[in-house]
């Protein structure tokens, strides 16, 4: 039940001369400038002459720098690198009435996670991302994609002390995400990505994510592109079920395992557009343009060129910043070269034509 994949045409730059167009984008997070971390430490020091206004200015500066860095790399759609976010669940839980925090919990090794608790019915109060989107959209000359942590992940990665089960909590959170997206759409957003990494570890709950997506897109215009990102896991456990999800694009992480699972999506026919990870975000070695072109061709085994989006496997925030930039720049160059080879008839596409 694909929504309207043809809405990708709006992201083709006016000066894109090639006949074919592979949409290039990023999943979301990006390394923060090192000075931003220093600024945050200063903001927490009571002896430092540094107030909330100074910190807000620093976030704006970082968002401006990274948005333009994405444009310099040549991306067709950009993100501000999630400069204002530290963690994908905490950021939203702090903004949703019904959540509270009771201290960090140990998750692996010596790492701790400030896992929130849902203690009462969740509610929608102030917008979560409106300021972030409006700032990035004002800075950018390219369309801005908005990543939002999905309701299933927000529910699964929280302590649930108020709802009967994860599904009930996820559905209420999905209603809040729907309200948030409508506000973003009113502000001009045309590309929204729902991140559901928790589905990779509990794939049998795919029906909860499907029902949540139904609620998320309710009343959202079909010219707004809705992407679902699920990283890692056994995709055969959730495919072909995702063909029934009301989405335009499904974003997967396959480069890290050498595309061992690419055949999962070849039969039955893949219905949404495919956003394919073509650089490994866990490997600090920068892939060559030639190598990335080979990875892009893996996607052409599943969908035709007009349905292929090219992106990193996942967020790149754990990489050194110069490595993240070069991976993305090489990715864009590889996409442009593949487009030229498609135009010249030098690439045979195995996927069904759209």
Domain range summary for the chain, segments of one domain joined by +: 9-344
176 to 21, 137, 227, 254, 303: CA distances (angstroms): 34, 23, 17, 30, 33
- Is 255 annotated among the ligand-binding residues? no
21-54 burial code (b ≥16 CB/10 A, e <16): bbbbbbbbbbbbbeebeebeeeeeeeeeebeeee
Other Cβ atoms less than 10 A from the Cβ of 125: the count is: 10
- Is 229 annotated among the ligand-binding residues? yes
Q: Which pLDDT belongs to residue 210?
A: 98
Rounded Cα gap, residues 21 and 169, in angstroms: 40
What mean pLDDT comes out for the span 66-89? Answer: 97
- Is 253 annotated among the ligand-binding residues? yes
Q: Which pLDDT belongs to residue 344?
A: 97
What are the backbone dihedrals phi and psi of residue 320, each rounded to the nearest 5 degrees, phi first? Answer: -55, 145
- Is 227 annotated among the ligand-binding residues? no
Percent of the chain with pLDDT over 70: 99
pLDDT at 5 over 80: no
pLDDT band at 275 (very low <50, low <70, confident <90, very high): very high
Alpha-carbon Rg for the chain in angstroms: 20
Domain 9-344, CATH among 3.90.230.10, 3.20.20.140, 3.40.50.1100, 3.20.20.210: 3.20.20.210
What mean pLDDT comes out for the span 157-174? Answer: 97
| Per-residue model confidence as pLDDT tens digits over 36-60 | 988 988 888 888 888 889 999 999 9
Look at 232 and 276; give whichever has higher pLDDT: 276
- Helix (H) or strand (E) run with residue 185 in it: helix 166-186
Q: Which of 308, 315, 227 is nearest to 26 (CA)?
A: 315
| Per-residue model confidence as pLDDT tens digits over 96-146 | 999 999 888 877 777 778 899 999 999 999 999 999 999 999 999 999 999
pLDDT band at 1 (very low <50, low <70, confident <90, very high): confident
Q: Are strands 308-311 and 23-24 parallel, antiparallel or unpaired?
A: parallel
Stated pTM of the model: 0.96
Rounded Cα gap, residues 93 and 285, in angstroms: 35
């Amino acid at each position: 039940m694909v929504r309207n994949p043809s809405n990708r045409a709006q992201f083709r730059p006016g000066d894109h001369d090639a006949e074919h167009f592979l949409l290039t984008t990023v999943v979301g997070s990006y390394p923060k400038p090192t000075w931003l971390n220093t600024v945050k430490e200063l903001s927490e020091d009571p002896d430092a002459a540094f107030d909330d206004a100074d910190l807000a200015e620093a976030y704006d500066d970082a968002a401006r720098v990274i948005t333009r860095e994405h444009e310099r790399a040549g991306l067709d759609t950009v993100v501000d690198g999630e400069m204002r976010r530290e963690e994908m669940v905490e950021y939203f839980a702090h903004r949703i009435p019904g959540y509270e925090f009771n201290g960090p919990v140990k998750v692996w090794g010596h790492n701790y996670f400030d896992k929130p608790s849902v203690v009462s019915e969740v509610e929608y109060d102030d917008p979560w991302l409106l300021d972030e989107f409006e700032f990035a959209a004002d800075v950018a000359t390219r369309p801005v994609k908005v990543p939002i942590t999905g309701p299933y992940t927000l529910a699964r990665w929280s302590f649930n002390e108020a709802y009967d089960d994860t599904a009930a909590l996820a559905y209420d959170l999905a209603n809040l995400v729907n309200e948030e997206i409508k506000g973003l759409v009113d502000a001009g957003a045309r590309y929204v990505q729902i991140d559901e990494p928790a589905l990779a570890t509990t794939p049998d709950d795919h029906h909860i994510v499907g029902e949540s997506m139904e609620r998320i897109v309710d009343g959202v215009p079909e010219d707004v592109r809705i992407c679902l990102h699920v990283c890692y896991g056994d995709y055969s456990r959730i495919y072909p079920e995702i063909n029934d999800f009301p989405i335009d694009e499904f974003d997967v992480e396959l480069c890290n395992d050498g595309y061992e699972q690419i055949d999962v999506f070849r039969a039955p026919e893949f219905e949404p557009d495919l956003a394919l990870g073509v650089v490994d975000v866990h490997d600090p070695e920068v892939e060559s343009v030639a190598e990335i072109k080979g990875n892009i061709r893996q996607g052409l085994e599943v969908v035709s060129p007009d349905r292929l989006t090219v992106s990193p496997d996942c967020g790149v925030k754990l990489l050194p910043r110069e490595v993240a930039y070069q991976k993305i720049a090489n990715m864009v160059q590889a996409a442009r070269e593949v487009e030229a080879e498609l135009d010249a008839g030098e690439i045979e596409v195995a996927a069904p034509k759209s």
